[in-house]
Chain A
Amino acid sequence: MTKSSDDETGSPGAPPRKRLLLFDDEPAITAPMARYFSNLGWYVDAAGEFEESLALITHRRYDLAILDLRARRLGNATGLELLREIRRHDHWTNVILLSAYVSPEVEEEARELGVDAVLRKPQALPDLAQFAMVLTGGR
């Protein structure tokens, strides 16, 4: 499932909504995460495909991207490759990699590519949202 939250701009006079890109090929994970962040006021794009994510980062700027490290059911790329593409576009977007298991080598590669955090799955949504707020704070 791929989905954007409905209202991009938020209510008049309110501060601009923070933009979140979710990349995970498992809708059972992205759907509740997208709903949770939308309810907190984020504008959320949830992409299940690598090419879809590429199209989004080409035209939109995100405050935060949460990428599943091993998403590859609908393509051949992983969160690590999307991280590389995001960093080709900008060094501004905060990036969190999520995975059930990350080897030290992969974590090191992610750090070299400029990841902001590597978190273990599963993460409780309130904890993840709190971390996202801290990471993007002041914007």
Chain B
Amino acid sequence: MGCLLDRILAPGALRVRFHPVYEIQAGSTATHYVECLISGPHGTTVEAPEILFEYARKMNREADVDRACVTSILRAAGRLPGELRVGVNVHATTLAMDPEFAVFLGDAASAAGIAVERLVVEVVEHTAPRDMSAFQNVLDGVRAVGARIAVDDVGRGQSNFMMILACKPDYFKIDRYFVHGSHADFHRQAVLASLVHLARPFGARVVAEGIELEADLEAVRAAGIDLVQGFLFGEPGPSAGLAAGARAGWPATAGSRRS
């Protein structure tokens, strides 16, 4: 029997769920892009992504697991409608350690039949990259092949101003900590407004993560945010049809978790 890492890296072992980011406009909703989430092999201790990546870090194989995740995601995203953008999470430490990542990303997208311009590389962070220069070089490469860049969980942990400066992202994804309950919290509203203001000179769009309440949806819209993601619109699922189908209008599930 091989070790757990072999099971993780085996073709088809990693599972993909889709979690759409919606664009809210007056009277209409459309899927702006679809973030693709990874789960570890079914029936193992590493099904939960935080355990999966902690294990990869302990094994010093984070870059290999991240690449396997990207490959699995792009394969699954081939089922999405051709015009939808595809969000792929990659750890900043992986990017700093993997100078060939941009080439890999372009090749993997091509193999999956997905135009690399549809990809949004969501930079997630556990620890800051040790070599910021190498990190930025890889990000330049990612941008050069045509993908967009998002900073995930802005405001929390290492997803801070330094990361924003390093990434110069196309998307600021504001961590749910600042979103959940914002309708009743003046200070959270102030943080949201300041991040909207900060994103403007970067030419970046702002995404509010973790929308679970309609009241919070109204609060983030009042702050000037029109890209939203969260369980109010449905939980992440394996169905590409779910991700695409929500484009028809206001998600049918909205309102099921009213405040």
Contacts and interface: CB of A to CB of B under 8 A. Distances in A.
Chains A and B bind each other = yes
Interface of A: 1-4, 27, 45-49, 51-52, 54-56, 58-60, 74
A58 B45 contact: no
A9 to B, nearest CB: 13
A4 to B, nearest CB: 5
B122 to A, nearest CB: 21
24 contacts: A2-B4, A2-B44, A2-B45, A2-B46, A3-B43, A3-B44, A4-B43, A4-B44, A49-B3, A51-B55, A51-B59, A52-B58, A54-B54, A54-B55, A54-B58, A55-B52, A55-B57, A55-B58, A56-B51, A59-B48, A59-B50, A59-B54, A60-B51, A74-B3
Nearest to A74: B3
A73 to B, nearest CB: 10
Given A4-B45, A45-B45, A46-B45, A52 B55 contact: yes
B4 A52 contact: yes
Contacts of B48: 59
A84 B3 CA distance: 23
A55 B46 contact: yes
B1 interface: yes
Residue among A45, A48, A55, A56 with the highest chain B CB neighbour number at 10 A: A55
B214 interface: no
B1 A52 contact: no
B45 A56 contact: yes
B140 interface: no
Q: Give the bracket for the number of chain B residues in contact with chain A.
A: 10 to 19
A29 to B, nearest CB: 14
Interface of B: 1, 3-4, 43-48, 50-52, 54-55, 57-59
Contacts of B59: 51
Nearest 5 CB-CB pairings of A with B = A55-B54, A51-B58, A55-B55, A2-B45, A45-B45
Contacts of A56: 45, 51
A52 B46 contact: yes
Given A49-B4, A51-B58, A59 B51 contact: yes
Residue among A2, A47, A59, A74 with the highest chain B CB neighbour number at 10 A: A2
Contact of B51 (A27, A48, A49, A55): A55
Residue among B3, B45, B51, B55 with the highest chain A CB neighbour number at 10 A: B45
Nearest to B41: A2
